[in-house]
Amino acid sequence: MTFLPTGCAPPDLAELDTFWTNARHSLTDVLLSDTYEVRWIGLDDETTRQVIELIQSGDKTGTFTLPWIVERTGQPEPAVGAPIILVDFDGHPQLLVRLTGIEEVPFGKITAAHTAIDGTPVRALEVWKPLHTSYWNSMLAPHGLVVTDEMPVWVETFDLHYDPAKR
């Protein structure tokens, strides 16, 4: 099972497998690997729903991952082409996205060009940086780390490939 931050309900493996099977049958024109990653994007139930809606509408086309967290939690390192099932706060699969690009950028060098992939409500740097600093500090604290300008960030772009609500 993929690492999920505290708060998100763990997904049911049978439900994930059913979602994955349905996605693969629906996407006959897309070559998908045999495996998938699972992620939860958001701070809580409300923001997770908002993020899913932003992805569904095409407003959010990427996300940001900390290599420091990946290294310390045993998550798979992101790879271009990797399919990712996004789950809601209750652990239910909602969307399938596929990574299209990954760029490593020091946190202090994140620009508006990088945050343009995020949803409109948090896209502006004056909103994005404090929000992500607070969120990531809470994730880093158990590891004795804090956000720094030198901290690496993976800027990950993705395409939405499967949304069962639109089938």
Split into its structural domains, the chain has a count of 1
The answer to whether residue 1 is domain-embedded is no
pLDDT at 5: 61
Encode pLDDT of 127-154 as tens digits: 999 999 999 999 899 999 999 999 999 9
The answer to whether residue 136 is domain-embedded is yes
Q: Which domain holds residue 101?
A: 13-162
Q: Which residues contact 51 (CB under 8 A, 6 or more apart)?
A: 41, 42, 60, 119
The answer to whether residue 5 is domain-embedded is no
CA distances from 72 to 23, 76, 107, 133, 139 (A): 30, 11, 18, 18, 11
The answer to whether residue 132 is domain-embedded is yes
Contacts of 17-23 with C-beta under 8 Å, sequence gap 24+, read 19/85, 19/93, 19/96, 19/164, 20/85, 20/93, 20/96, 22/162, 22/164, 23/83, 23/85, 23/96, 23/161, 23/162, 23/164
Best CA proximity match to 64, nearest among 142, 122, 8, 145: 122
Encode pLDDT of 79-98 as tens digits: 999 999 999 999 999 999 99
The answer to whether residue 8 is domain-embedded is no
pTM over 0.85: yes
The answer to whether residue 67 is domain-embedded is yes
The answer to whether residue 127 is domain-embedded is yes
pLDDT at 167: 63
CATH number at residue 83: 3.10.400.10
The answer to whether residue 6 is domain-embedded is no
